[in-house]
Amino acid sequence: MSDSTRTLRRASVVSLSVLTAVNLLNYLDRYVVSALLPALQRAPMGLDDFQLGTLMSGFLIVYLLTAPIFGRLGDRGSRTRPIAIGVLIWSLATGLSGLAHNYVQLLGARAVVGIGEAAYGTIAPSLLADYFVRRTRGRAFAVFNMAIPVGAALGYIVGGIVLVHYGWRAAFYVAGIPGIVLAAWIWHLPDPPRGAHDNDDVSVAAGGGMTLGTQAGSWAVYARLLRQRPYLLTVLGYAAYTFAVGGLAVWMPTFLEQVRGVSTAQATEGFGAIVVVTGFVGTFVGGWLGDYWLKFSPQAYLWMSGWVTLLAVPATYLALASSSPSVFYGALVVAELLLFMSTGPINTAIVNLVSPAERACAVALSIFVIHALGDAISPTIIGGVSDATSLGAAVMIVPFVVVVSGLFWLWAARADARAAVRLAAVR
């Protein structure tokens, strides 16, 4: 191995480490609010449940609306600079949340967090894809996405510990300060050429899309992406997946307590522990398997994600239908493990299905669709069905949606394979 190769590999590993640390902080920041809700309700601001709920909704709405803007920016110029500025914005906004003295100030600060996270969430995957060759990209994305369950759990843990000892304002300060340091580090990360590690003779995935010579960053990219069948099917499957996982994340502790008679502490802490362990292991294993099977099929990430998601259906059903603790806890572990296995491969598939010149836009559109059709509505739908029937009946929506997700990904794999055959025939 030459010295230049070693240097490039070292730079890629360092960059992956920094981006993963920021992703962990990203989810810590999102979920630290959940740990502080009771304290915010008791604070002099006197927030009611509706106002507490809008703190997440306000963040999510701004996040969705600004993601397409940053997608365009990420495909037009520097990627490290917008990411660094975005991380700095959300870190400062998180700190300002601790200075809020009324509902409007707190809501405004949390909404600004959405701007910063949109910059990072849309552009970072595009940057990460160009640090690694295609055969190792799935593992890189798996490491990157392992920060999601760990960061979410740390949000509850750090928020709870700081709240007990120093109060809710300090919890926001603790969540915000590390991002300022990481923003400065990201500013100096290398920004490799787009498509640096993709095949020289293939400028776009088989599914179609814009070539490297076409103008990047225009609004027309989003319309073009929606006409690209493998990409669209992948994102729709991801939306169904996000609907299911998001619904479980919100309602599972309540389901365990109210329907299965588990204590409050056991329901929250037990479910949190399951998510951390299965998220860490499942995401890593899924990334490794995706890269391994890529040797045998260019659509390996989609085929694998589709099949493991369908394999998760029986376990998901048992976890929600069985009244025996030994059965539903075991089934829940298996279901979460299988569901998390597709996290890395699907995000890798999204950046691989499009031209390197439009990856930030592709991720931005994906973010918009999966949240708008996924976890932004699933908790409300499950809650509404629960009000009309029961929570036990309402959560049975989840296994059905998991089936839809797996089928969409298998459909996307088949569509991309057919597109590859057509492209080869033309050439």
Q: Are 379 and 286 members of one domain?
A: yes
Is residue 282 a part of any domain in this protein?
Answer: yes
Task: Count CB-CB contacts under 10 A for residue 121.
Answer: 23
Cβ atoms of residues 102 and 45 within 8 Å: yes
Q: What percent of the chain has pLDDT over 90?
A: 41
Amino acid sitting at position 245: V
The pLDDT, as a whole number, for residue 161 is 83
The pLDDT, as a whole number, for residue 200 is 42
CA gap 257, 101 in Å, rounded: 34
State the average pLDDT over residues 353-363. Answer: 89
Question: Where is mean pLDDT largest: 128-137, 169-178, 204-213, 227-236?
Answer: 227-236
In the DSSP assignment, the letter for residue 389 is: S
CA gap 215, 67 in Å, rounded: 19
Is residue 204 a part of any domain in this protein?
Answer: no
Is residue 209 a part of any domain in this protein?
Answer: no
The pLDDT, as a whole number, for residue 221 is 87
Q: What percent of the chain has pLDDT over 70?
A: 91
Give the chain's domain count: 2
CA atoms within 13 A on the CB side of 80: 18
CA gap 383, 378 in Å, rounded: 8
Q: Are 123 and 237 members of one domain?
A: no
Cβ atoms of residues 286 and 344 within 8 Å: yes
Q: Are 257 and 369 members of one domain?
A: yes
Crossing angle of helices 134-166/343-352, nearest 10°? Answer: 130
Structure-token pair, residue 170:
């300090």
CA gap 339, 235 in Å, rounded: 16
Task: Please give the sequence-ordered ranges of beta strands (E in DSSP) within 214-261, or none if there are none.
Answer: none
- Give the contacts of 157 (CB within 8 A, at least 6 positions apart): 35
Q: Are 95 and 8 members of one domain?
A: yes
CATH number assigned to the domain comprising residue 253: 1.20.1250.20
Terminal CA-CA length for the chain:
35
Q: Are 98 and 41 members of one domain?
A: yes
CA gap 92, 116 in Å, rounded: 10
> What pTM does this model have?
0.80
pLDDT 10s digits, 327-342 = 999 999 999 999 999 9
Domain that holds residue 181: 3-187
- Among 19-33, 210-224, 242-256, 378-392, which is the least confidently predicted range? 210-224
Helix (H) or strand (E) holding 363: helix 359-370
Is residue 198 a part of any domain in this protein?
Answer: no
Compute the 3-state secondary structure of the chain and give helix, strand, coil in percent, each to the nearest 5.
80, 0, 20
